[in-house]
């Protein structure tokens, strides 16, 4: 079969890598792809937001299955368009993708169906939001309602900081239309985890647990990014916590969406806060996480294609996923200045030596390949992922590999996995 993956980041490189292992796949394409993806798939110069262009390509090249990576084309309705054209596509349709496209939609759904989450209020007026912040006090969470590439959420420690963030979102419009509405939310405490699952609209097939690290610096300091690293499994998700997440959050959410007339077929990502074994929802996403996809999929045994097709066909019943007993740690290597302004075009050194290491997988996020060299072409450049018998060994593998890779201004966190170690030492 012929498969197209839509996207060009680390998540999509991991998807391309996993899909390429399927005996069913003959030709593999990626739009637009990146330097690393070009080694295993045909990269097509079509942007992820050019929905008509993507559909035209699929028709012209008789693509059998399209797998959508990023949230933006999903919220724009790529699945609806493709289905209308008779093209097979994996991902949530536009109505279901609102669960990420609008935080207010997701919160209202959770409130209506008693899915555990934080207290919140949604505002379209800056002054009303400011008055609410002053009334509630700090710490408090300020969120842009729409898509902001993982950077639209801030935990403000003081009222002044919350008001400054509010002005950035609603007055300065740093996130554009995503900031037309703002959500003010109580801060949940505990340990944050990512829980990602496949759904066919009725059933839920969970993936391995993982934990993302949003802030740019060690010890969760500095501004939020798209994600600076992740590990899997997350020890905080004990068997009992896993059961509660499925029974209290994932299954009820899929049922709620179906009851509202938005059957959800695709990947549902729940960002959760766990305190004393009790999970609450921070946010939902309508796609695989990045960088969580990297450590999760390197642990996944078997063929991904039958699961994707079962979701599309509404028949996940009877399917299970086998997971490697190894732990996996992914460290994101970023450009200096990210998540703010950064330079492109740096020559990446040491990739081949790192890739030769046992148990190491390097997924490209923001690279190009020119004249035999890999160059930086994004804020998040590489996701270095290593396996080990446990988190400690996986960390050692990953950081040993990362130490061999360099470019001018490279930056990465040195503490990805440390939270898991604290759990395992208890």
Cβ contact 364:39 at 8 Å: no
> Tens digit of pLDDT for each residue in 249-298?
999 999 999 999 999 999 999 999 999 999 999 999 999 999 999 999 99
- What distances in angstroms separate CA 48 from CA 6, 74, 83, 223, 399, one per listed residue? 6, 10, 17, 26, 32
CA distance 289 to 417: 17
Q: Which of 267, 268, 266, 271 is nearest to 281 (CA)?
A: 271
Q: Which two tokens stand for residue 23?
A: 């005996």
CA distance 207 to 308: 13
- pLDDT, residue 153, reads 84
Rounded to the nearest 10 degrees, the angle between the axes of helix 159-170 and helix 126-136 is 160
CATH class of 327-424: alpha beta
- pLDDT, residue 89, reads 98
Q: Which two tokens stand for residue 145?
A: 């309602």
Rg (CA), the chain: 21
- Please name the fold of domain 192-313: D-amino Acid Aminotransferase; Chain A, domain 1 (3.30.470)
Helix (H, G, I), strand (E, B) or coil at 388: strand
CA distance 68 to 388: 30
The hierarchical CATH code for the domain 119-186 is 3.30.1490.20
Decide which of 3.90.1280.20, 3.40.50.300, 3.40.50.20, 3.30.70.270 is the CATH code for 2-94. Answer: 3.40.50.20
- pLDDT, residue 425, reads 66
Tell me, what DSSP letter sits at residue 124? S
- Sorted by where each begins, the domain ranges of the chain are 2-94, 119-186, 192-313, 327-424
Residues of the chain falling short of pLDDT 50: 426
**Residue whose pair of structure tokens reads 């300091």 in the numeric block:** 221
| Verdict on whether the full-model pTM lies above 0.95 | no
- pLDDT, residue 334, reads 98
Q: Which of 324, 327, 398, 407 is nearest to 357 (CA)?
A: 398
- pLDDT, residue 318, reads 86
- What distances in angstroms separate CA 125 from CA 77, 163, 164, 180, 182, one per listed residue? 28, 13, 15, 9, 8
Which positions ≥6 away from 19 have C-beta within 8 Å? 3, 5, 25, 28, 67, 304, 305
Which ranges in 70-200 belong to alpha helices (H)? 71-76, 78-84, 98-101, 103-112, 126-136, 159-170
CA distance 419 to 236: 9
Percent of the chain with pLDDT over 90: 92
């Amino acid at each position: 079969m012929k498969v197209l993956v839509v996207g060009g980041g680390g998540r999509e490189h991991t998807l391309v890598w996993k899909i390429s292992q399927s005996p069913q796949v003959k030709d593999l394409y990626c739009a637009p792809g990146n330097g690393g993806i070009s080694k295993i798939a045909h990269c097509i110069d079509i942007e992820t937001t050019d929905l008509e262009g993507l559909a035209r390509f699929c028709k012209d090249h008789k693509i059998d299955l399209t797998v959508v990576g990023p949230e933006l084309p999903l919220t724009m309705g790529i699945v609806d368009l493709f289905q209308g054209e008779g093209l097979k596509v994996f991902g949530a349709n536009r109505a279901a993708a609102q669960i990420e496209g609008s935080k207010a939609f997701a919160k209202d759904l959770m409130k209506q169906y008693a899915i555990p989450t934080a207290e919140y209020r949604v505002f379209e007026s800056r002054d009303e939001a400011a008055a609410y912040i002053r009334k509630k006090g700090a710490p408090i969470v300020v969120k842009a309602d729409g898509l902001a590439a993982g950077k639209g959420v801030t935990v403000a420690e003081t009222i002044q900081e919350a008001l400054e963030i509010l002005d950035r979102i609603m007055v300065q419009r740093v996130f554009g239309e995503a900031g037309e509405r703002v959500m003010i939310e109580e801060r949940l405490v505990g340990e944050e985890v990512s829980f990602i699952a496949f759904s066919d609209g009725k059933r839920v097939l969970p993936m391995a647990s993982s934990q993302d690290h949003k802030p740019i610096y060690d010890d969760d300091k500095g501004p939020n990014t798209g994600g600076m690293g992740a590990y899997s499994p997350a020890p905080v998700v004990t068997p009992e916590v896993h059961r509660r997440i499925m029974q209290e959050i994932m299954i009820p959410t899929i049922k709620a969406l179906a009851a509202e007339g938005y059957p959800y077929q695709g990947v549902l990502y729940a960002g959760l806060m766990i305190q004393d074994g009790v999970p609450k929802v921070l946010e939902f996403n309508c796609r695989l996480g990045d960088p969580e996809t990297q450590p999760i999929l390197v642990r996944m045994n078997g063929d991904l294609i039958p699961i994707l097709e079962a979701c599309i066909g509404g028949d996940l019943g009877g399917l299970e996923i086998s997971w490697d007993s190894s732990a996996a740690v992914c460290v994101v290597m970023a450009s200096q200045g990210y998540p703010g302004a950064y330079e492109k075009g740096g020559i990446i050194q040491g990739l081949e030596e790192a890739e030769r290491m046992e148990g190491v997988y390097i997924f490209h996020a923001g690279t190009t390949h020119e004249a035999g060299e890999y160059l930086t072409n994004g804020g998040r450049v590489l996701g270095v992922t290593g396996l080990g018998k446990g988190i400690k060994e996986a960390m050692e593998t990953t950081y040993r590999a990362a130490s061999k890779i360099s470019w001018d201004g490279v930056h990465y966190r040195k503490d990805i996995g440390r939270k898991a170690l604290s759990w395992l030492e208890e």
